[in-house]
Amino acid sequence: MSIRLEARPQPSRTMIWLSPLLAIGLTCCVAMVIFAVAGLNPLSALATFIFTPVTDLYGLGELLIKAAPLVLIAIGLSIGFRAGVWNVGGEGQLIVGVIFGGWLALNYGPDGGPWVLPAMVVGGAIGGALWAAIPALLRTQFNANEILTSLMLNYVAQLWLGYLIFGPWRDPAGFNFPQSEPLAPAALFPTLIEGTRANASILLALVAVGLGWALMSRSFVGFQLKITGLSHGAARYAGFSPNRAVWIGLVAGGLAAGIAGVGEIAGPLGQIFPTASPGYGYAAIIVAFLGRLNPIGILFSGLLMSLLYLSGDVAQMSLGLPSSITGLFQGTLLFFLLTADVLIHYRLRSSTVATGAIAGSAK
Amino acid sequence: MPPTGPDSSRLQLRLELRGITKVYPAVVANSGIDLRVAPGEIHAVVGENGAGKSTLMKVIYGMVRPDAGEMLWNGREVHIGSPADAQRLGIGMVFQHFALFDTLTVAENIALALPEKLSLETISGRIVALAQRYCLPLDPARRIYSMSVGERQRVEIIRALLQNPGLLIMDEPTSVLTPQAVDTLFGTLRSLAADGCSILYISHKLDEIRALCSSATILRGGKVTGTCDPRGESAASMARMMIGADIQPIRAVRSAATGAERLVVRNLTLAAADPFGTDLDTVSFSVAGGEILGIAGVSGNGQQELLAALSGETPLADAQGVLVDGKPTGRLDPRQRRAIGLCSVPEDRLGRGAVPSLALADNALLTDNRQSSVRAGFIRFDVVKAFTERCIAEFGVRGGGPDTPAGSLSGGNLQKFIVGREILQNPGVLVIAQPTWGVDVGAAVTIREALLDLRARGCAILVISEELDELTEIADRIAVIAGGRLSPAMSRATFDRDAIGLAMSGEWTAATQTQGADHVHSA
């Protein structure tokens, strides 16, 4: 008897939502193996890893403040992913959002005014969208693969920010550390919950969830994007422009990532560092897929990924493991998700067919 | 020494199937099928699409393993595990869709398929010998891309014959051929049979089967519903066995031509985007309201390019290139053209006309922009659902409701849905390609009647089809497309199969002036 995969007549609706849970469960198993190899009690280490970060109000605030950019970027990326536009440049678009928003904050923040923060959000959105427009232009004009161009632009954006922070934007009173001046109070998001760092940028993420849902589930533009992603032939036949889908998909991701960048410098960071993002632009790709490209699903998967970031710190502080374990678990999670997704279209069958004579016995 | 062989008193059977059963997750494709083929017999396997013909052939050719049943080859039980096994036994197959490398020569393509390594010269010699023996003219040094579909089929046949098969399976071989090429093919098959090679001939065209085959096995819903000698049956009696009921003849509808030209195309010249596509060359025609213009032709002669130019998938540089009710639409995209009343149905249902994984309601919304189903950029789901339900009810779409994925419907029901969706847009001009391709007889009748009803309401309809029978049934005029050029249209009164067949090979000036069809055979 052997186990084989058999195509399902229709994709399983249950597995679409069960698959992420399965992936989370399997990732926990891998985590326990790693803890055991490191000489820890697997169960208690896992419990520490998962629950310690969120045992107090401050921890919950941290969870929200890290989930906000992940959710925001993932919503933007999911619009493109639904249309078959593979924007993996969220990180670079976030950084350009930081540069645009940061320029406004450094130049106009000290003079104050209630318009500074909204201008930073708009500026960051424009910056991210412009950065995403480059791969869109290259794709629609020259058919250049947007995966490669958007990915490579991440490094360009990173170096651009590095140049600014090591050069013109370096804080003269910063003891030569690579960092900007602290942003003025007018350029910072107000704190939402006393005693935590949770600020109003969380509300932006929630608004994005609502807008993303309305766009993808209710609007005709969202329908056109979905058709383009599912079937180029059907989209062409119906008259939905593939180039328009590329533009919408990339620019939506750029807008969201740019705003997320502003949320970082105007929120928890409070000033600009060369490493403005701990890889949110990449992690958001996992968040988007873990959430099934569905805004509500993304909300939950964003919280989960945020927890993984916090747990990484816990792993370093109380378990004696390197914090890069976060990246390891993120990768494991995506790996298991993609594996479990096979079961959406296939099911396991044990085959009991005898392996008898096969070749022609009569010659 | 056949231990389980049949009584070999008269003659031993070349192939015998007993109780072949194959079950797929969603469907029983074959259920207890028996089949007996004698040496040198041309045996038809007849049935509608979905009757299980293809699965049965794949079982015989070793591509699918049956769940139950046994197979006897020359009286001995065999298990065929792969097409290579089948070829070793002496079973050859010519598929409906050819598997040839366009940029290689005939001899190179055939060398790739042969199990033993031979020099190209040896192979070329054998090709020429076989070609002469069976009247299949073929130049071994020619490259595939320069050949017509009929010639490519010859390559496939010769490739199968080089292995000296005792049984040759032909899967819907005439669907891509002109009437004259069909005659040539039948001559070849008869001389093959006379040399002792058995032929399994799969088709749903009853006239051809009656002309060619000496016995037939009829399948319906995965089961054998009868065996007969087609020469002694009428097309109607075989159709009854095939579909289980009498075919309802299409009601005759009087022509409703109003005279006003609703679709006008003048001197449409268009370079194909695909390097192996066909350039359109000064195509001109017009369709009046209440008229059906049929475009016949062998596939790959510019039909796809013409459809794309009309539907708007390939916008033209010249706005005057396509006129709908006098309005220039050449530069409009498909959605804009639909808005002014030009609707189209593509030939491939899945992946173009419909998205298989999406619900019928979503597929209705795909082209529905004349029903105010979108307001202020947002979808009105209640309107879409009502429209979908109306389409399902009015066109007798069975197998699902608005939430059913399109891919789970049978071909016939999905085609009814797609055609219905376009007709309910109330188009002024409808362009439709292969309206009944791969559709069961009942659905085909429904679709043709729907087209005639639409014509009666004053719509101008352009039907692009490879099925000449279909065009002669519903079209008021027929033009032929060949090599990207369009022949003058013939009116219903002057339909002439020979002339149309000649025009399919690009010879319409000769066809309309001389009645002889002799020089086709010298091709």
CATH number of the domain at A230, please.
1.10.3470
CA A296 to chain centre: 14
Q: Compute the distance between CA of residue B469 and CA of residue B491 in angstroms, rounded to an integer.
A: 15
- A347 beta partners: A6
- ipTM confidence: 0.81
Q: Is A6 touching B (CB cutoff 8 A)?
A: yes
| pLDDT averaged over every residue in chain B | 84
**Residue A58, both tokens:** 């401050």
Using one digit for the tens of pLDDT, what is the confidence trace for A270-294?
A: 889 988 888 899 999 999 998 889 9
Q: Do the Cβ atoms of B27 and B409 come closer than 8 Å?
A: no
Does residue A23 lie within any of the structural domains? no
Q: Is B129 touching A (CB cutoff 8 A)?
A: no
The pLDDT value recorded for residue B297 is: 85
Asked if B338 and A9 come within 8 Å (Cβ–Cβ), the reply is no
- Residue B508's pLDDT band, with cuts at 50, 70 and 90, is low
Q: Which residues contact B263 (CB under 8 A, 6 or more apart)?
A: B286, B287, B310, B322, B323, B324, B342, B429, B431, B460, B462
Using one digit for the tens of pLDDT, what is the confidence trace for A116-127?
A: 999 999 999 999
Q: Compute the distance between CA of residue A204 and CA of residue A122 in angstroms, rounded to an integer.
A: 12
Q: Do the Cβ atoms of A343 and A12 come closer than 8 Å?
A: yes
Q: Compute the distance between CA of residue B149 and CA of residue A166 in angstroms, rounded to an integer.
A: 67
Asked if A227 and B344 come within 8 Å (Cβ–Cβ), the reply is no
Does residue A178 lie within any of the structural domains? yes
Q: Find chain A residues with C-beta within 8 A of B407's C-beta.
A: 10
The pLDDT value recorded for residue B479 is: 92
Overall average pLDDT of the A72-83 stretch: 95
Q: Find chain B residues with C-beta within 8 A of A227's C-beta.
A: 355, 358, 366
Does residue A41 lie within any of the structural domains? no
Asked if A361 and B79 come within 8 Å (Cβ–Cβ), the reply is yes
- Residue A353's pLDDT band, with cuts at 50, 70 and 90, is very low
pLDDT exceeds cutoff 90 at B112: no
Q: Which residues contact B169 (CB under 8 A, 6 or more apart)?
A: B57, B60, B61, B91, B92, B93, B94, B199, B200, B202
Asked if B77 and A219 come within 8 Å (Cβ–Cβ), the reply is no
Q: Compute the distance between CA of residue B135 and CA of residue B158 in angstroms, rounded to an integer.
A: 11
**DSSP-derived 3-state class of residue B92:** strand
Q: Find chain B residues with C-beta within 8 A of A223's C-beta.
A: 362, 365, 379
Asked if B88 and A363 come within 8 Å (Cβ–Cβ), the reply is yes
Structural domain boundaries enclosing A304: 57-335
Q: Which residue has the higher pLDDT, A354 or B111?
A: B111
- Residue A101's pLDDT band, with cuts at 50, 70 and 90, is very high
- Residue B258's pLDDT band, with cuts at 50, 70 and 90, is low
Q: State the virtual CA torsion across A355, A357, A358, A361 in degrees, nearest 10.
A: 180
Which residues in chain B are classed under CATH 3.40.50.300? 15-243, 261-522
Does residue A12 lie within any of the structural domains? no
Q: Compute the distance between CA of residue B402 and CA of residue B420 in angstroms, rounded to an integer.
A: 14
Give the one of A6, A234, A241 whose C-beta lies nearest to B354's C-beta: A234
Helix A295-318, helix A280-290: angle, nearest 10: 130
Q: Is B377 touching A (CB cutoff 8 A)?
A: yes
Q: Compute the distance between CA of residue A249 and CA of residue A135 in angstroms, rounded to an integer.
A: 11
**Residue B99, both tokens:** 């598997």
Using one digit for the tens of pLDDT, what is the confidence trace for B432-479?
A: 998 987 777 778 888 999 999 999 888 999 999 888 878 888 899 999
| Residue type for position B485 | R
Asked if B85 and A11 come within 8 Å (Cβ–Cβ), the reply is no
Q: What is the pTM of this model?
A: 0.78
Asked if A360 and B348 come within 8 Å (Cβ–Cβ), the reply is no
Overall average pLDDT of the B108-113 stretch: 88
pLDDT more than 70, % of chain B: 90
- Residue A50's pLDDT band, with cuts at 50, 70 and 90, is confident
Overall average pLDDT of the B9-22 stretch: 82
Give the one of A6, A10, A360 whose C-beta lies nearest to B88's C-beta: A360
Cα–Cα distances (Å) from B444 to B49, B295, B474, in that order, read 12, 18, 12
Closest residue by Cα to residue B37 from B227, B194, B198, B203: B198
Domain count, chain A: 1
Q: Is A230 touching B (CB cutoff 8 A)?
A: yes
pLDDT exceeds cutoff 60 at A106: yes
- Residue B11's pLDDT band, with cuts at 50, 70 and 90, is low
Q: Which fold is adopted by the domain B15-243?
A: Rossmann fold (3.40.50)
The pLDDT value recorded for residue A359 is: 37
- Residue A93's pLDDT band, with cuts at 50, 70 and 90, is very high
The pLDDT value recorded for residue A358 is: 37
Q: Compute the distance between CA of residue B133 and CA of residue A256 in angstroms, rounded to an integer.
A: 71
Q: Do the Cβ atoms of A102 and A325 come closer than 8 Å?
A: no
Q: Which fold is adopted by the domain B261-522?
A: Rossmann fold (3.40.50)
pLDDT exceeds cutoff 90 at A360: no
End-to-end Cα distance, chain B: 48
Chain B's closest residue to A354, CA to CA, is B67
Query: For strand B198-203 and strand B42-46, is the pairing parallel, antiparallel, or unpaired?
Result: parallel
Q: Is A240 touching B (CB cutoff 8 A)?
A: yes
CA A25 to chain centre: 21
CA atoms within 13 A on the CB side of B142: 14
- A4 beta partners: A349
Contacting B residues, span 74-113, partner chain A, CB-CB under 8 Å = 74, 76-82, 85-86, 88-89
- Residue A265's pLDDT band, with cuts at 50, 70 and 90, is very high
The pLDDT value recorded for residue B252 is: 60
pLDDT more than 70, % of chain A: 96
Give the one of A6, A11, A227 whose C-beta lies nearest to B355's C-beta: A227
Q: Is A354 touching B (CB cutoff 8 A)?
A: no
Q: Do the Cβ atoms of A287 and A81 come closer than 8 Å?
A: no
Q: Find chain B residues with C-beta within 8 A of A8's C-beta.
A: 25
Chain B's closest residue to A355, CA to CA, is B81
pLDDT exceeds cutoff 60 at A305: yes
